[in-house]
Amino acid sequence: MASERKFSRILTELDSRRSRHLYRHTRVADSPQQPHMTIDGKPMLVFCSNDYLGLANHPDMIRAFQQAANTYGVGSGAAHLVNGHSRPHQQLEEALAEFTGRERALLFSTGYMANLGVANALLASRHDVVYADRLNHASLVDAGLLAGAKLVRYPHNDTSSLGKRLKETPPNLPLSGEGQEGSAARTRLIMTDGVFSMDGDVAPVRELARLAREHDAWLMVDDAHGIGVLGETGAGLLEAEGLNQMDVPILMGTLGKALGTAGAFVAGSHDLIEYLIQTARTWIYTTAQPPAVAAATLASLHLVQTESWRREHLQVLIRQFRQGAEQLGLPLMASDTPIQPILVGSSEQAMAMSSRLEKSGILVTAIRPPTVPADTARLRVTLSAAHTVEDVERLLEALGRNPS
Ligand X SMILES: Cc1ncc(COP(=O)(O)O)c(C=O)c1O
- Interface residue list for ligand X (CB under 6 A): 110-112, 137, 139, 193, 197, 222, 224, 254, 256, 264
Q: Which is nearer to ligand X, 112 or 154 (CB)?
A: 112
Q: Which is nearer to ligand X, 111 or 249 (CB)?
A: 111
Task: Give the amino acid at 344.
Answer: V
Spatial distance between the Cα atoms of 252 and 302, rounded to a whole number of angstroms: 19
Catalytic residue among 109, 197, 335, 354: 197
- 12 marked as binding residue: no
Catalytic residue among 89, 257, 313, 387: 257
- 137 marked as binding residue: yes
Catalytic residue check, 76: no
Q: How far is the CB of 379 from ligand X (least distance, A)?
A: 17
Spatial distance between the Cα atoms of 401 and 404, rounded to a whole number of angstroms: 10
Residues 6+ apart with CB under 8 A from 11: none
Spatial distance between the Cα atoms of 337 and 318, rounded to a whole number of angstroms: 7
Buried b / exposed e over 100-116, threshold 16 CB at 10 Å, is bebebbbbbbbbbbbbb
Q: How far is the CB of 58 from ligand X (least distance, A)?
A: 19
Catalytic residue check, 127: no
Catalytic residue check, 150: no
Catalytic residue among 58, 215, 225, 387: 225
Q: Which is nearer to ligand X, 112 or 131 (CB)?
A: 112
Contact 97, 267 (CB under 8 A): yes
Q: Which is nearer to ligand X, 205 or 399 (CB)?
A: 205
Q: How far is the CB of 380 from ligand X (least distance, A)?
A: 11
Cα–Cα distances (Å) from 386 to 32, 56, 96, 131, in that order, read: 13, 10, 24, 37
3-state SS, residue 306: helix
Spatial distance between the Cα atoms of 187 and 119, rounded to a whole number of angstroms: 10
- 153 marked as binding residue: no
- 127 marked as binding residue: no
Q: How far is the CB of 235 from ligand X (least distance, A)?
A: 17
Q: Which is nearer to ligand X, 129 or 221 (CB)?
A: 221
| Burial of 14: CB neighbours in 10 Å, binned 0-12, 13-18, 19+ | exposed
- 335 marked as binding residue: no
- 356 marked as binding residue: no
Q: Which is nearer to ligand X, 93 or 193 (CB)?
A: 193
Q: How far is the CB of 43 from ligand X (least distance, A)?
A: 26
Q: How far is the CB of 263 from ligand X (least distance, A)?
A: 7
Residues 6+ apart with CB under 8 A from 1: none
Spatial distance between the Cα atoms of 140 and 133, rounded to a whole number of angstroms: 9
- 156 marked as binding residue: no
Q: Which residue has the closest beta carbon to ligand X?
A: 111
Cα–Cα distances (Å) from 37 to 55, 69, 313, in that order, read: 15, 26, 21
Query: What is the tally of helices (H) and strands (E) in the chain?
Result: 14, 15
Binding site residue list for pyridoxal 5'-phosphate: 111-112, 197, 225, 254
The residues carrying an active-site annotation are 197, 225, 257
What residue numbers does the annotated binding site cover?
Answer: 24, 111-112, 137, 197, 225, 254, 371
